[in-house]
Amino acid sequence: MKSDYDKYRHQELRSLVKGIFVTTKNNYQKTDADTAIISRGEGQDLKDCSFQAVDRERYYNLFEIALTYKNCQFKYKGNRDNQSKFDQTTAMYNSVDFFVKRNIPLDYTFQSQEETALFSRLIYRFITQLLDVLFEEYPSDTESKYQEVLDQIRCEVIVKDIYELIYETAKWSDAELITYGKRTVDECDSVILIDFGYESSKYLTDDIDTCLKLRPVDKRIIFTHSELENDFYEIDAINYKKIQYAKNINYYPMEMFDLIDEQKDFYKYKRHNKDRSVPRFLCVAFSLNDVIVLPDYKNNDIKKNIRNKLAERAYAYIYEKYIDFKKQSINRCNQIGSILNELMCIDYRLLFGDNEYLPSAFKLGFVRFEQFLKNQSIELSDKNTVFKYLITVWIDEFSCILDSMLVDDNYRDFIKGAMLNKYLRAVKAQEKTNNLDEANKLFFDFYKKYKNAIEDFIRKVDVVKKEFYDNQFEECLQNGSSSYEHLRYALSLYKTYLQNPNTK
């Protein structure tokens, strides 16, 4: 008779295997360290797993092959025709779905083949953490431990930037590689690593920035780029140099806004900006003889000149392979619509009342905010109040995004006809609400009441804010104008823009 521990272990192992492979019987055959065949529908059944060392090896190998081997083929030994089409991408997205169903937001899409492989390796790491619990030699309280690991993975995914996670153990050889000039990689003698960074990735893809940038006052420079990314090395370096991920220079980008469906006590996550269009890192291989340095350059400018030329090559490659202005323009408008819909549905009377209420779209942001305070050893008397202030600061940033639409011809070229009418109907419906008038008044009362707590935070943390409407955020408050008035004004301009898309 199986113990409760074994019943739970079989239940969760079945959920994991069936969720990813669909079949409960799976076998594999290795050829070398990167080549193998997985046969779905044949082999030992899950019910026969006794959680011994041989079973442990079987299931670890099965997931490792499916998610990390470069040359992995799948065969199906069954009678269901609709199960015959299965490849490594299927296994990866089934794995993503497994975690998403457990409210772990891993539903990213990477356009770079190399980053997709790194992402798949990350998913395998998370799966091994779960297998470690299920195959523990002397199990005790397996259910509690398993749920604890899921919680740890969820927190890691929510708090950390996805690039930080996938590049955690990556080498230069794991990054996308291009060459300078007409050389093949074998004809190159040197290589440089280009870090497109947080700001460049946002700019290149025209994605909605849902982050606020924070930095402790006593730590003006928190993160710096690795020296490895500011120099070039012999081509063999790609095999041993680690990519030293740097979040950003001078600030910590904290994601504020997420789309979440509230269902009782369960939050179903829907990622707002899941498409990773531009690779974060790119290696450029080159031959030093091909990079012409003009004779009037001083010696100490030679490396800088070479780096600039290689960076130009990298950005040209990105624009050619990854930038799709029409797709990104439509995506940006869809994101704006989703965000506006959330902001217009907020109960601002409840938000600025004497309670700890937070709109669902900002709840994960609050988790990240708490982690930021913990990481930087910052003590606050009222974190919830301060975070409501930060929501208002971010809404000011979002208003600037609406303004930026008015001067970009890409949107005028790409959002026309039925698509334009859809956006226009949505924004007209959003503009009718008097929610923002009420929010403006309520925020001023809130700000006056909790000014001491907010100023205590400002003494400890800089919030890197844009300047628009000719004044800084706090100066606008002194003049009786808050983010909600700015948003109402920007929304009105956005509606006018949509009504007259051909007006220059």
pLDDT of 483 strictly over 90: no
pLDDT at residue 125, rounded to an integer: 97
Of the given ranges (72-86, 96-110, 183-197, 466-480), which has the lowest mean pLDDT? 466-480
pLDDT of 297 strictly over 60: no
Of the given ranges (26-35, 285-294, 318-327, 379-388), which has the lowest mean pLDDT? 285-294
Of the given ranges (21-25, 212-216, 293-297), which has the lowest mean pLDDT? 293-297
pLDDT-based confidence at 417, cuts 50/70/90?
A: low
| Alpha-carbon span 355 to 429, nearest angstrom | 29
pLDDT at residue 113, rounded to an integer: 95
pLDDT at residue 94, rounded to an integer: 95
pLDDT at residue 270, rounded to an integer: 60
* DSSP character string of 9-75: HHHHHHHHHHHHHS-S-EEEEEEETTEEEEEET-SS-GGG---SHHHHHHHHHHHHHHHH-SEEEEE
Strand partners, 193: 283
Beta-carbon neighbour count of residue 379 at 10 Å? 8
pLDDT at residue 1, rounded to an integer: 44
Task: DSSP letter for 296, please.
Answer: T
Strands 281-286 and 190-195: antiparallel
Neighbour order of strands in the sheet with 252-255? 252-255, 211-216, 461-464
Instruction: Give pairs for 227-232: CB < 8 Å, separation 24+.
Output: 228/193, 229/193, 229/194, 229/195, 230/307, 231/192, 231/303, 232/190, 232/191, 232/192, 232/286, 232/303, 232/306, 232/307, 232/310
pLDDT of 504 strictly over 80: no
| Alpha-carbon span 334 to 110, nearest angstrom | 19
pLDDT at residue 123, rounded to an integer: 97
pLDDT (tens digit per residue) in 4-17: 668 889 999 999 99
pLDDT at residue 469, rounded to an integer: 46
pLDDT of 43 strictly over 50: yes
pLDDT of 266 strictly over 60: no
Higher-pLDDT residue of 396, 98? 98
pTM score, whole prediction: 0.86
pLDDT of 480 strictly over 80: no
pLDDT at residue 396, rounded to an integer: 87
Half-sphere exposure of 323 (CA within 13 A, CB side): 16
pLDDT (tens digit per residue) in 106-149: 989 999 999 999 999 999 999 999 999 999 988 788 999 999 99
pLDDT at residue 470, rounded to an integer: 44
Task: DSSP letter for 176, please.
Answer: E
| Contact indicator for 393, 483 with CB cutoff of 8 Å | yes
pLDDT at residue 478, rounded to an integer: 67
Average pLDDT score over the chain = 83
Half-sphere exposure of 352 (CA within 13 A, CB side): 23
Strand partners, 195: 281
pLDDT at residue 231, rounded to an integer: 81
Q: Which residue shows structure tokens 């990735």?
A: 201
Query: Average pLDDT, stretch 46-72?
Result: 92
pLDDT at residue 70, rounded to an integer: 92
pLDDT at residue 295, rounded to an integer: 54
pLDDT of 210 strictly over 50: yes
| Alpha-carbon span 43 to 61, nearest angstrom | 14
pLDDT-based confidence at 220, cuts 50/70/90?
A: low
Task: DSSP letter for 138, please.
Answer: S
* DSSP character string of 98-128: HHHTTT-----EESSHHHHHHHHHHHHHHHH
